[in-house]
Amino acid sequence: MSPELAASLIHFLGMMLLIASFWILTSSQIGACIRAYATHSFLLALITAVIAITNHVEHLLIPALLTLVLKTIVIPHVFFRIIRRLGIRKEVESYINIPFSLLLAVLLVFVSFYVTGNDKILKPVAFSEFIPLAVSTVFFGMLMMTTRKKAINQVLGLLLIENGLFLMAITMTFGMPLLVEMGIFFDVLVAVMIMGIFVFKIRDAFESIDADDMTVLKG
Amino acid sequence: MALFFYIQILFHVLGGIAGFLFEQHGEKANRVTHGLAVLAGVAGIVFSLGVLLTGKPWALELEGSFPVGALRLSADPFSAFFLLVISFLSLAASIFAIGYTREYQKRKNIALLGFFYNFFILAMLFVVTVQNAFYFLLFWELMSLASYFLVVFEHEKPEARSAGTLYLIMTHVGTAFITAAFLLLYIHAGSFSFDAFRAAAGTLSPALKNVVFLAVLIGFGTKAGVIPLHIWLPQAHPQAPSHVSALMSGVMIKTAVYGLLVFLFNFLGEMPGWWGHVILAVAILSTLLGILYALMENDLKRLLAFSSIENMGIILLGVGMALVFKTLHQPLYAGFALIAALYHVINHAIFKGLLFLGAGSVLSGTHTRNMEGLGGLIRKMPWTAVFFLVGAMAIAALPPLNGFVSEWLTFIALLLGCEGASPAMRFFSPLLAALLGLAGALAATCFVKAFGISFLGKPRSEHAAHAHEASGSMKTGMGVLAVSCFGLALAAPWIVPVLGKAAKSLSGADIPMTALTQKAFLMSPSGTSQFSPLLIVLVLSVFLLGTVILLRLTFGRKHVRIGPSWDCGMPGLEPRMQYTATGYSKPLRRIFSFLYQPTRRVELDDESHAMLRTAQRFESKITHHVDEWVYKPLSELVADLSRKAKQIQTGHIQLYLSYIFITLILLLLFFGGRS
């Protein structure tokens, strides 16, 4: 792969990643949201693979493969099962409407480009264009967690944050030691399982998974 | 010798854990956990006496993986003195505990009690030996937490829980100040090791010194329970099981004296004169108010707790005079005052331990601490009564007992202020001595009340009427302490040189012992007064025996008649006709009414029949000014701020997340950003 081709491919993939992030935020159906997350993870896997090949860090291929398997296939599958078994309404309920979240998201992208613009920190990194994208993915995840009502959306938001952190990690360091990577993947998988169980428990206790109902827990 | 210290530590650790092996069998757990604590106490006494008498210090250095320096333990004679006090009292308390905790066995987990008890003692042992600020704070905190769990041991009682919470808050406020003091020294010296602090003491700036002094005074003052930082003490000490109360009042608050002395004499170098004056002022305030509040208490253990405040005041009077003399470069007088303070440390540990164990024995025999429900116990519990009387006489500083010796030393230390000190001290030190005398008289009144109302007269309640004597181990525990009350008095001329060694290892100044003791006499360093406890005992026993023999000779045996008390012609003397605890202290409530500001309220239950009063309610209270003026507004302020802060706590998980989110973005915008 020639360097020029690699560079343009990476630019293209980065753009797609940002679009996928927007797609997650704008989906009005939970199903679409999960599909968008799967796409986001798929793009992440591709980016990881491209970085691995262009920079000859072959061990990054393993995280890429794991991302593909776990985040694009297994976790979305688990999510679909959860919403089927919960039998909840398919619409995403939000405190703010979708155009407004879009507006906020655009603002957050600006912020992330602004705060990562400090040359002193970011100059030596090879793929420095990914850093604002990673930060904005984290921001999107947080925005999702703070504005959505259903507990399942909060879990999705958390996973989005994790994707952002992963992107940051591979671009800044070309991947952490393999053991750490494996640990993180295992963590994410276990977290999804546990949070899935929690969502069921919340449903049993409050007869809904609306996080609003949890205000009665306050002392 | 060091072997014995390792054995002590090992036994406390084992004692703490081994109880859990017998969790299901309360009695076995009790024997194992407290039995090992007894053995550990014996080992500790051997070790500390060895260091104290031979004067050979012991040290151990363990390289840890924390970046705070090595864990260095050492015992010079000064530390060994505190080790001795802790080991001795824990020995007596553990013996007592074997019998005392039997009543808990049916409803509480004895193994858990033993766990906290052993680790509480262990933490105190480490606090007085550790030579590194970081580890000192670690063990200090361990001591506080272990004692907190002991205070709330009977957590089903709401008053135990609230006392525990108050204790936890106050002790952490104190620890915060101590931590601040250590950190300031750390910044200056560049190391957490005490040796580095000692080496850097000379180069401290005066301003930093003053700040550290005030932080240390507040920090250790909170643990010592000096007024106005005392509010936790009368609440928390009575709630713990009695053998733990004995340890808390007897030795835990003394670790504050240890810390204060180490700071003042080792870490802060040359000191300005006003430090001693501040300590004297705090000390006299604690002495007087402590005993005045103790007088008004009708709860036996609360009374003892307030009296602990008084005794901490007396100890600090000695410390304060030592500081005054140190700034005036009079090492002999300073050493003498320090010896007085240390002597009162061990004496108070012994007799207050004895009194708390006695109160525990009363509690287990009658199941009440309220003196208005006691009375006549001397017939049901003769041994406890004798031991309590010994403790009461000792704390009231009556001559043949140990309290007298250390109060005499403190008096002399105060009066020495007239001879060499500054003009201000020349005026104030006799005044302080006079006030100490007043406190002594009040203490005597207080303990006449405590003993008289509880043990003499007729039982005031069913509980007291059906009291039973303490078990053998409880009697042994109290007996050990009662005998040492005599021993510490009679052996005073030989103990003072040993304390001199401890004082010397602290301050580094040489104290000529020949100026303080001659044969069996204790001398004032200025040579103006002297006394011998042995001689006093001799004179007293001659008088006592002489009187008895004289009476026998003149009247003969048959002259003793036993008849009914005169009952004013109204047959049937009732317990209700006796002096009550409240009534006994009434004259003092009148005399000191400007201080107590007593309020009383009489309510008639049936207002319509003014002539035929069937029932009325009487309520009498005194005002605790520190609580009213300082802590009440403070707690209201905190509650108010908390209520305001509560408004942002809605319970919406999304809102909490957005707090984090917004903070993150603001921080990024502030610190990141395009350059």
Q: What whole-number distance in Å separates Cα of residue B265 and Cα of residue A31?
A: 73
Distances in Å between the Cα of B674 and the Cα atoms of A14, A105, A106 are 21, 20, 18
Of B571, B623, B620, B564, give the one whose Cα is nearest residue B597.
B623
Tokens read off for B164 = 């525990």
**Maximum Cα–Cα distance for chain A, whole Å?**
62
Apex CA B585: angle with CA B299 and CA B235, to 5°? 25
Residues B542 and B636 in one domain: no
Q: Tell whether B569 lies on the interface with A, counting CB pairs under 8 A.
A: no
Sign of the CA dihedral B307, B312, B315, B316?
Answer: negative
Report the amino acid identity of residue B339. Answer: I
Task: Give the pLDDT mean for B62-66.
Answer: 77
User: How near does any CA of chain A get to the CA of B169, in Å?
Assistant: 21
pLDDT of residue B113: 92
Q: How far is CA B544 from the centre of its chain?
A: 34
Task: Give the pLDDT mean for B114-140.
Answer: 94
CB–CB of A118 and B669 under 8 A? no
Name the residue with higher pLDDT: B531 or B377. Answer: B377
Give residue-wise pLDDT tens across range B181-231: 999 999 998 889 999 999 988 888 889 999 999 999 999 999 999 988 989
pLDDT of residue B606: 62
Domain boundary among B150, B169, B202: B202
Mutate to test the interface with A, among B648, B649, B657, B671 (most CBs of A within 10 A): B657
pLDDT of residue B320: 93
Give residue-wise pLDDT tens across range B2-52: 899 999 999 999 999 988 888 788 788 889 999 999 999 999 999 999 999
Tokens read off for B287 = 């002495």
User: How near does any CA of chain B get to the CA of A146, in Å?
Assistant: 4
pLDDT of residue A1: 66
Q: How far is CA B546 from the centre of its chain?
A: 39
Q: Tell whether A214 lies on the interface with B, counting CB pairs under 8 A.
A: yes
Tokens read off for B111 = 């193994």
Domain boundary among B140, B175, B202: B202
Give residue-wise pLDDT tens across range B548-576: 999 888 877 666 778 877 878 877 778 88
- Contact (CB, 8 A) for B541 and B92: no
Query: If pLDDT is split at 50, 70 and 90, which confidence band does B675 have?
Result: low
- Contact (CB, 8 A) for B276 and B217: no
Nearest CA in chain B to A118: B674
pLDDT of residue B553: 86
Of B115, B309, B165, B340, give the one whose Cα is nearest residue B226.
B309
Domain assignment of residue B209, yes or no: no
Mutate to test the interface with A, among B652, B667, B670 (most CBs of A within 10 A): B652
Residues B533 and B631 in one domain: no
CB–CB of B672 and A118 under 8 A? yes
pLDDT of residue B674: 58
Give residue-wise pLDDT tens across range B328-376: 888 888 999 999 999 999 999 999 999 999 999 999 999 888 888 888 8
The structure tokens 């078990």 sit at B471
How many other CB atoms are found less than 10 A from the CB of residue B243?
31
- A contacts of B669 (beta carbons < 8 Å): 111, 114-115
Task: Give the pLDDT mean for B455-469.
Answer: 88
Sign of the CA dihedral B610, B612, B615, B618?
Answer: positive
Look up the ipTM and state it.
Answer: 0.83
Q: Tell me the residues of chain B between 611 and 670 that have a Cβ less than 8 Å away from chain A.
A: 649-655, 657-658, 660-661, 664-665, 668-669
Give residue-wise pLDDT tens across range B298-339: 899 999 999 999 999 999 999 999 999 888 888 888 999 999
**Maximum Cα–Cα distance for chain B, whole Å?**
109
CB–CB of A211 and B652 under 8 A? yes
Per DSSP, B579 falls in state P
Please give the backbone phi and psi of residue B75, each rounded to the nearest 5 degrees, phi first: -130, 100
Give residue-wise pLDDT tens across range A44-69: 999 888 888 887 877 888 888 888 99
Residues B526 and B658 in one domain: no
For A211, which of B654, B668, B675 is closest by C-beta distance? B654
Of A36, A8, A42, A132, give the one whose Cα is nearest residue A92.
A36
Q: B494-499: long-range contacts at Cβ-Cβ below 8 A with a sequence spacing of 24 or more?
A: B495/B343, B496/B339, B496/B343, B496/B522, B498/B52, B498/B53, B499/B81, B499/B339, B499/B342, B499/B343
Domain count of the fold of chain B: 3
- A contacts of B657 (beta carbons < 8 Å): 142, 145-146, 154
User: How near does any CA of chain B get to the CA of A124, in Å?
Assistant: 16
How many other CB atoms are found less than 10 A from the CB of residue B417?
28
Q: Looking at the predicted structure, is the pLDDT value of residue B451 above 90?
A: yes
Cα separation of the two ends of chain A: 61
CB–CB of B654 and A120 under 8 A? no
Query: If pLDDT is split at 50, 70 and 90, which confidence band does A150 have?
Result: confident
- A contacts of B674 (beta carbons < 8 Å): 114, 117-118
The structure tokens 């002297």 sit at B530
Query: If pLDDT is split at 50, 70 and 90, which confidence band does B519 have?
Result: confident
Task: Give the pLDDT mean for B117-129.
Answer: 95
Q: Tell whether B674 lies on the interface with A, counting CB pairs under 8 A.
A: yes
Domain boundary among B202, B236, B266: B202
Residues B518 and B634 in one domain: no
Mutate to test the interface with B, among A142, A210, A214, A216 (most CBs of B within 10 A): A142
Name the residue with higher pLDDT: A121 or A15. Answer: A15
Q: What whole-number distance in Å separates Cα of residue B460 and Cα of residue B370?
A: 10
- Contact (CB, 8 A) for A169 and A175: yes
- B contacts of A114 (beta carbons < 8 Å): 669, 672-674
Domain housing B659: 625-671
Of B223, B249, B132, B133, give the one whose Cα is nearest residue B182.
B133
Sign of the CA dihedral B217, B219, B224, B227?
Answer: positive
Nearest CA in chain A to B657: A146
Q: Classify burial at A179, counting beta carbons within 10 Å of its beta carbon; exposed 0-12, middle 13-18, buried 19 or more.
A: exposed
For A146, which of B649, B657, B672 is closest by C-beta distance? B657
Give residue-wise pLDDT tens across range B495-508: 998 999 899 888 88
Domain assignment of residue B32, yes or no: yes
Q: Looking at the predicted structure, is the pLDDT value of residue B618 above 80?
A: no
Tokens read off for B163 = 């006392």
Burial B354-376 (b: 16+ CB within 10 A, else e): bbbbbbbbbbbbbebbbbebbbb
Give residue-wise pLDDT tens across range B170-190: 999 999 999 999 999 999 988
- Contact (CB, 8 A) for B111 and B19: yes
How many other CB atoms are found less than 10 A from the CB of residue B68?
16
